[in-house]
Chain A
Amino acid sequence: MEDLQTISIAQDQDIVTARAAARNLAKTLGFGMADQTRLATAVSELTRNILRYAKNGNCYIEEDSDDQVTAIKIVIEDQGPGIPDIELAMQDGYTSGSGLGAGLPGTKRLVHEFDIMSEPGHTRISIRMTSKKKRAQVERVRMVSGRRFQISGR
């Protein structure tokens, strides 16, 4: 397993850093170009929300594979004011008025799992992208491509 990466989000350069980290992990794990882009874009959207609404927070990126699937789990967390009405915020077409694009529902469509929890002082969004490619296959691909990775159970 890859180590957990923690990226603190406090300025707009951090958005770029976080989405690049997500993309790199997706690439390393053998996800296709479309999934790499979806995941990076989702991270971009969610970390920008942190800057916009909470000023700062954290983005945690880690591999979450098992025997059946290759997966990446990303948690985006802040101690901001929280989302007043999650159901409303998750409705298609809803924007908070700052005129953003696709909002949370658009972001949700990019990933396979999307969990959101929000209360005043704590918002936590967890996303997961999976690939049916089994871990063993991915390992083989890694060996073939001649790149070295540390593969150790945690």
Chain B
Amino acid sequence: MMIPILKLQHTLITSIQVELTDDDALDFQSEVLNKIRSTEAEGLVIDITALEVVDTYLARILNDTANMARLLGTETVICGMRPAVSLTLVEMGRQLIGVASALNLDQAMDKVAELISSRERGA
């Protein structure tokens, strides 16, 4: 399952447009991390507008990916989560998504820039 990962200035942008199997999700995770390394991107935006289901497995993969990206030095923002998906995740309980998020791609780009600059200030 090939999910395109585009680079715009210092940020990688990717949009998950298909239902992922568990293996697909893991492949996606490692592709993103490799791409971060090869492009030296400072930011990563993952658009999940098209995802109708985010279960605990995928939520964990998304969280893990954001944490791994941060270890590489890249800030992650998730955007476009459907209202019904957010409702379901919260009802299932716990903090299933701990990663920074935004309503849409536009706001995600602003947010990731903010995260990058605040990290640079902090460093």
Contact = CB atoms under 8 A, between A and B. Distances in A.
A106 B57 CA distance: 13
Assign chain B's interface to a size class.
Answer: 20 to 34
Interface stretch (A2-10, A33-41, A114-122, A135-143): A33-41
Interface string B43-61: 0000000001111110110
Assign chain A's interface to a size class.
Answer: 20 to 34
B121 interface: no
Interface string A99-124: 11111011101100000000000000
Contacts, number: 81
A41 B55 contact: yes
Interface string B22-56: 11000000000000000000000000000011111
Contact of B53 (A12, A44, A93, A99): A44
A148 to B, nearest CB: 25
Q: Is the interface of B mostly helix, strand, loop or mixed?
A: helix
A106 B84 CA distance: 16
B55 A20 contact: no
